[in-house]
Structure formats: C-alpha cells, structure tokens
C-alpha cells in the first residue's frame, strides 16, 4: 500500500521502520515479536534482511501502512504520520493527504489503534 507513494527500493534501503530502540519499541507490530536484539541494543524485526522485508506483500497490514498509524487521541481516532519517515514527510503535503483520503478505510480495517504520540503528525480525525 505504501508503495502507491514510495518506491519499494526507497523502503528497502532505509529499513528504519523495522529497527527499534528502547524509546520506540512500542512501535514493533505485536505479530512480529519477539524481535532480534543486536549487540548495540537495537531491536530488529525477525523478518528484516539485507534487501528489506522477507515477507514482501505478505507482511502484516500494520507494517504495510507504516509510517501511517491509527492512534487514539482523547476521545478521537486520528490517522497520523510518523515524523521519523523522511521519505514520506518530504513528499508534497497534497500527495500525502490524497493517499490518506484514498486509503483511510483500509487503515481503520487493521483494528490496531495505538496511543497518540507527539512524534506523529495528525493528518485526519476519524469519526468514532
């Protein structure tokens, strides 16, 4: 899904969404735990390879949607964007918003909602 706006090669080269530290380990998809621990203390998704995710199109929807998340903010659900993913945040805002508008029902279908974190940029408030 994210490949509607990003090239597969861009994601495979970065791999930032598959590596976690103590601060952001809450981001690791529950379906992919436990992660591998590297000597430098980083947590790696067990499916991360040199060329990217070995699951390809079979990865969990939560992974396929990253850097977008459904988050709970007070009594609202929001679609938010991780500020960590420069490949997406560097895109024109109009392109990002159009992607969200085209796909927000799929986002909601994950059934996964995380608590809002201020590192995320709110793109859409969803009626609950």
Using only C-alpha atoms, the chain has a radius of gyration, in whole angstroms, of 14
91-124 per-position pLDDT tens digit: 999 999 999 999 888 888 777 888 898 889 999 9
- Nearest 5°: the CA angle 119, 12, 87 is 40
19-77 per-position pLDDT tens digit: 888 777 777 776 666 667 676 878 888 888 887 888 888 888 778 888 998 899 999 99
* Higher-scoring residue by pLDDT: 90, 52: 90
80, with CB counted inside 10 A (0-12, 13-18, 19+), is buried
Q: How many residues does the chain have?
A: 128
Domain ranges of the chain: 2-126
């Amino acid at each position: 899904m994210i490949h509607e706006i990003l090239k597969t090669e861009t994601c495979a080269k970065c791999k930032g969404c598959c590596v976690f530290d103590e601060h952001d380990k809450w981001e690791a998809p529950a379906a992919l735990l436990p992660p591998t621990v590297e000597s430098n203390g980083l947590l790696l998704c067990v499916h991360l390879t040199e060329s990217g995710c070995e699951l390809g199109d079979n990865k969990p929807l939560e992974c396929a949607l990253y850097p977008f998340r459904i988050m709970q903010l007070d009594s609202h659900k929001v679609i938010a964007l991780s500020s960590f993913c420069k490949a997406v945040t560097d895109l024109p805002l109009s392109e990002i918003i159009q992607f969200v508008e085209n796909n927000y029902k799929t986002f909601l279908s994950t059934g996964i909602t995380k608590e809002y974190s201020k590192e995320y940029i709110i793109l859409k408030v969803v009626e609950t």
